[in-house]
Chains A and B, each alone.
Chain A
């Protein structure tokens, strides 16, 4: 049991760190994009007009990818008044139910998100005429990551010697 638990812990951790790295890079690019957008109006000799739209998409990508980080670390905000006063076993079961519901929610977003992407491929954004499906890709991608991390977190908490609550931080 213990070995499996460690294994799950490790997989979840590695995935989490890689997603975090990607997010940090995207966030860095986001900051630079807005800086360059400001500069291009005053300092640079050319006028860059795509920065507004690019910044929006970068922000959405970064934030939605980070949803899985929050899941892995159980950082999403909730109201724990009642939860923490429940008997250990009940709260553990409840945490499991929440994870199953969340898993269903993200599976749903994943499935219909793919449909949304393929629909988006026939639409174009204002800049460049890029198909809208590309930015929409984040929905199935982020949902899939969320599902994986939920599954790992669920197993991790089930196998843990000491049961943990669903949300450690509020």
Chain B
């Protein structure tokens, strides 16, 4: 009997997060298909440590697997930051097609992560939809509306560069401080996927939600290489197809949550919602992309530039 422990950052319930759905589906499929020879244990809510720590534990073989955000992966594989290129993905359909192990680009990325860190990538999906802006001042309809807004970001140079290029001011704050910062006005706004914004109840302290679809980051499901290689061929096969199905379930759950009471409908009850027009989106893109490209080329060097170009090409192809 083999135990496979999976750490993730989100709530445990399958209907509350994509990681919850993925792990629940995966556990059920693997345990039944292997007649219980592989036991799956789930450690949700970042119990075993923050993102980057959990990946460390997978690398050391303490935990067999983890479903991690781009932020956690970035500490082990910095070029993942190319996904911070704003307004790169035109819609969720194309994002789904590109951010996947089924795409050529996704496979290239997975192979490179494997080569650089020794972590085998079992799944690749979006972190739960596009980042959207919320703020307490006004609906955002053009880059001019960003002028003078203090927008909370992660301590991430690409995000900071994007916000500053748009004419607002990036205010990096620890996650635990964001709610009160928005409530009191230390920051006027923030950006996160709808799920995250709804989950953190930011609608209680923000008035405007702008569907800007500006950034979409990946979630990467990694597994310890030695553990995977140590499985029998038969078990490897089970783990492979079960993880594919689980990732599909996770992606679908993200879309369901966004559309459910826990997603956009909840936010729309308390905030005025507007969507960027195509012209406005183009104006945002023109203002933000060059600055972020510069940061990416500067920080991640040749490799990062290559990966960025590959991603942009993949998006272009998917778009046609």
Query: Which residues from chain A sit less than 8 Å from chain B, CB to CB?
Result: 41, 47, 49-50, 52-53, 119, 122-127, 129, 132
Please name 16 pairs of A and B residues whose Cβ atoms are closer than 8 Å in the assembled complex, sorted by A: A41-B169, A41-B171, A41-B186, A47-B164, A47-B170, A47-B171, A49-B155, A49-B170, A52-B173, A119-B56, A123-B52, A124-B74, A124-B75, A124-B78, A126-B75, A129-B299
Known: A41-B150, A52-B172. A123 touches B75 (CB 8 A): yes
Query: Which residues from chain B sit less than 8 Å from chain A, CB to CB?
Result: 52, 56, 59, 71, 74-76, 78, 150, 154-157, 160, 164, 169-174, 186, 299
| A47 lies within 8 A of B299 (CB) | no
| A52 lies within 8 A of B174 (CB) | yes
In the assembly, what is the distance between CA of A53 and CA of B160, in Å?
15
| A126 lies within 8 A of B155 (CB) | yes
Which residues does chain B contribute within 8 Å of A119, judged by CB atoms? 56, 59
Residue of A nearest to B169 (CB): A47
**Distance between A136 CB and nearest chain B CB, rounded to angstroms:** 11
Which residues does chain A contribute within 8 Å of B154, judged by CB atoms? 126
**Distance between B100 CB and nearest chain A CB, rounded to angstroms:** 26
Which residue in A41, A53, A123, A124 is a CB contact (below 8 Å) of B155? A53
| A126 lies within 8 A of B170 (CB) | no
Residue of A nearest to B164 (CB): A47
In the assembly, what is the distance between CA of A41 and CA of B160, in Å?
14
Residue of B nearest to A122 (CB): B76
Residue of A nearest to B172 (CB): A49
Contacts A47-B169, A52-B155 supplied; 10 other A-B pairs, CB < 8 Å = A41-B186, A47-B170, A49-B172, A52-B174, A123-B75, A124-B75, A126-B75, A126-B154, A126-B156, A132-B75
Shortest Cβ-Cβ A-B pairs, 7 listed? A126-B155, A123-B75, A49-B172, A49-B160, A124-B78, A53-B155, A123-B76
In the assembly, what is the distance between CA of A119 and CA of B160, in Å?
28
**Distance between B60 CB and nearest chain A CB, rounded to angstroms:** 8
| A129 lies within 8 A of B78 (CB) | yes
In the assembly, what is the distance between CA of A119 and CA of B164, in Å?
34
**Distance between A169 CB and nearest chain B CB, rounded to angstroms:** 33
Which residues does chain B contribute within 8 Å of A132, judged by CB atoms? 75
| A127 lies within 8 A of B155 (CB) | yes
In the assembly, what is the distance between CA of A124 and CA of B77, in Å?
8
In the assembly, what is the distance between CA of A52 and CA of B160, in Å?
14
Residue of A nearest to B55 (CB): A123
Which residues does chain B contribute within 8 Å of A52, judged by CB atoms? 155, 172-174
**Distance between B165 CB and nearest chain A CB, rounded to angstroms:** 13
In the assembly, what is the distance between CA of A49 and CA of B155, in Å?
7
| A125 lies within 8 A of B75 (CB) | yes
In the assembly, what is the distance between CA of A141 and CA of B171, in Å?
33
